[in-house]
Chain A
Amino acid sequence: MTEYLVPRAEGDVQYVQLLTPEGYRVEHPDYAFDGGEDEAGTIRGFYRDMVLTRRIDTESTALQRHGELGIWAQLLGQEAAQIGSGRALRPQDYVFPTYREHGVAYCRGLDPLRLLGLFRGVDQGAWDPHVNNFANYTIVIGAQTLHATGYAMGVQRDGAVGTGDADRDTAVVAYFGDGASSQGDVNESFIFAASYNAPVVFFCQNNQWAISEPIERQSRIPLYQRARGFGFPGVRVDGNDVLAVHAVTQAALQYAREGNGPTLVEAYTYRMGAHTTTDDPTRYRLTDEVEYWKLRDPIARVKVYLTRNGLADHDFFEDVEREAEELGARLRDGCRALPDPSPLSIFDQVYAEQTPELEAQRDEFAAYLDSFEGAH
């Protein structure tokens, strides 16, 4: 019964890896890390990004525990997958996230406080997506992969693909998870992207768990191999290796920008935390598994690499830590200061062109609120 199952916490998983969990650089025949002229600086930057992203996550989890957030979707353990892919983007590229892409949001320059609005319940994640080319969080599983594909079809129609102009050619990234890979929308997005050769990268963070359901419930084959059935390339990368994720994503993005069509990237990673702060993973998974993945921590291996090779000193790590402290303090204060919206504000946000009947409903509700003694 279980012969076909994908190994999860075993050593025989095949993927692109450029930095081992022990912090050693290794070669891969197809992919190499491009860190630019100052490679050490770039890697230090990734380290900093991952530490700050983890801080956003742990701070937000704490804020939920203190009752300041209604819920928080944790990304602990997925920092390399998000920073490696997020840092491979160019400004004109466009991201369609799930609700867990806090690290990618950070890479796009979106203030993490904007994320907290959604989880605190003061808005629905209302940032203007066109400011950072980072679409709004999508909670319905997999729905955003079609939006990404449609956006990529629009990119094609605007002639912003395959021109050879590095500042113009545009790729779109659809983030989703292993659970979403079972959704019809994800499979339809694969078909549409393949049919129209749309410049989209399907970036699947396979964190092994869809709340309580293991990857085995979603797929009999490694997820990246599904791409083959849809007629485009698929590649699995060590999702806890920021260098490999960066290299693979960069290649897939460039492939899309040049007009070659979609790629499926499966970032093989692990959800170290719970699905959200309302989840209790001890009910469905073993501590052994978590312990196994702790040894594959995405941040620790970079720190070891930088330290062992003398690429970062004590002061650097201290500075990053201090920056994380400051970020944490800013999030704590900023979250508590987020104002509740006016109950009347909802009526004006439904339509671009307000309807008389909704306006009338708003006025009735306003009059009702005013009718209470001491309303003003």
Chain B
Amino acid sequence: MTKVTLAKALNMGLRKAMETDPKVLIMGEDVGKLGGVFRITDGLQKDFGEDRVIDSPLAESGILGTAVGLAMRGFRPVCEIQFDGFVYPAYDQIVSQVAKLHFRTQGAIKMPMVIRIPFGGGIGAVEHHSESPEAQFAHTPGLKVVSCSNPVDGYWMIQQAIAHDDPVVFLEPKRQYHADKADLDEEATPPPLFSSKVLRTGSDATLLGYGPMVKTLMKAAEAAAGEGRSLEVIDLRTLSPLDMGPVFESVRKTGRAVVAHEAHTNLGMGAEIAARITEQCFYSLQAPVLRVGGFDTPYPPARIEEEYLPDLDRVLDAVDRTMGF
């Protein structure tokens, strides 16, 4: 049992994956000598060499496009996009090639690729460094999209994503990289990659989130408990496919749901989740499913990002509103 941060856990997970399968490659900007701007790939080039930990030219489409060719040759590329807002130059390769090649070839070729993206805000960064583009990828058939919220999940989920035969967009909450340490048992058996998880049980309402929002939801549930309100918290973990089973079960019990994310509310993951809950749990609902999200503006300048990001108070405000129905 070791105490590790999310950054360290991801680094350990990547190392394990590279040891397990010689076909695993890491590619991206500054991932080699520097170890990535967040140090997630720290030390890997030194131990696995420049052929397996590839410092790429500064061209995101180039990274993803060459990763397609490497995958066709039998490799399993793990591509790092340095920041969420820099993924768009690679968007065409991701959406039109990575996501569609299995379909186009009726399964003749697979795209076992992981696209790691540090995402979300709260680090006081300049523009394009704090975005949450998950819905754009979850909306794309052919991709799978997951997000880890804590070090233990980070360690296991990155390995599971690399071992998976479909392309996985792997969203890492950059605000959590160095925030908290958790006990990591490397001998444990992890839950399946594409599964959501109940983190806290409760009876009055269900809080749903993923990635950076999970910590906020847990704090909100803790605060609500002090006021005599019992909230259930579910870490969705997988955004495409969604694992709605535990969500439906929870909402049928509580009758109320609040879904939160940093991404823009309009057409965000919350909209899809609310629709599915409404379709499947209509007669159990005591109130409409409420969404708490980033506003439908571009991500704001850093000095006001704490107002923009959903926080404990905005989550609890939504809980109050749902209880008011």
Residues of A participating in the B interface, judged by any CB pair closer than 8 Å = 96, 123-130, 135-136, 138, 140, 143, 145-158, 172, 184-185, 188-189, 191-192, 195, 346, 349-353, 355-358
Cα distance, A351 to B241, chains bound together (Å) = 11
Chain A residues whose CB sits within 8 angstroms of the CB of B25 once the complex forms: 157
Residues of B participating in the A interface, judged by any CB pair closer than 8 Å = 25, 51, 56-57, 59, 61-62, 64-75, 89, 92-93, 96-97, 100-110, 112, 141-142, 144, 164-166, 194, 240-242, 244
Chain B residues whose CB sits within 8 angstroms of the CB of A353 once the complex forms: 164-166
Pair B59/A191 contact, Cβ less than 8 Å:
yes
Chain A residues whose CB sits within 8 angstroms of the CB of B65 once the complex forms: 143, 145-147, 149-150, 185, 188-189
Pair B241/A128 contact, Cβ less than 8 Å:
no
Chain A residues whose CB sits within 8 angstroms of the CB of B108 once the complex forms: 126-130
Cα distance, A188 to B93, chains bound together (Å) = 12
Interface of A is mostly: helix
Question: Given A140-B96, A158-B73, A351-B166, are A147 and B68 neighbors across the interface (CB < 8 Å)?
Answer: yes
Pair A129/B72 contact, Cβ less than 8 Å:
yes
Pair B93/A146 contact, Cβ less than 8 Å:
yes
- 8 nearest A-B residue pairs (beta carbon): A150-B69, A146-B65, A154-B73, A150-B66, A151-B69, A188-B62, A128-B108, A352-B165
Chain A residues whose CB sits within 8 angstroms of the CB of B73 once the complex forms: 150-151, 154-155, 157-158
Number of A-B contacts (CB under 8 A): 142
Pair A153/B92 contact, Cβ less than 8 Å:
no
Cα distance, A155 to B141, chains bound together (Å) = 30
Chain A residues whose CB sits within 8 angstroms of the CB of B165 once the complex forms: 352-353
Pair B69/A153 contact, Cβ less than 8 Å:
yes
Pair B69/A146 contact, Cβ less than 8 Å:
yes
Chain B residues whose CB sits within 8 angstroms of the CB of A153 once the complex forms: 66, 69-70
Pair A136/B102 contact, Cβ less than 8 Å:
no
Chain A residues whose CB sits within 8 angstroms of the CB of B67 once the complex forms: 150
Cα distance, A94 to B143, chains bound together (Å) = 26
Cα distance, A360 to B239, chains bound together (Å) = 17
Chain A residues whose CB sits within 8 angstroms of the CB of B70 once the complex forms: 150-151, 153-154, 157
CB distance from B240 to the nearest CB of A (A): 8
Pair A352/B242 contact, Cβ less than 8 Å:
no
Pair A358/B68 contact, Cβ less than 8 Å:
no
- Within the complex, which residue of A123, A143, A157 is in contact with B97, where a contact is CB–CB below 8 Å? A143
Pair B104/A124 contact, Cβ less than 8 Å:
yes
Pair B69/A154 contact, Cβ less than 8 Å:
yes
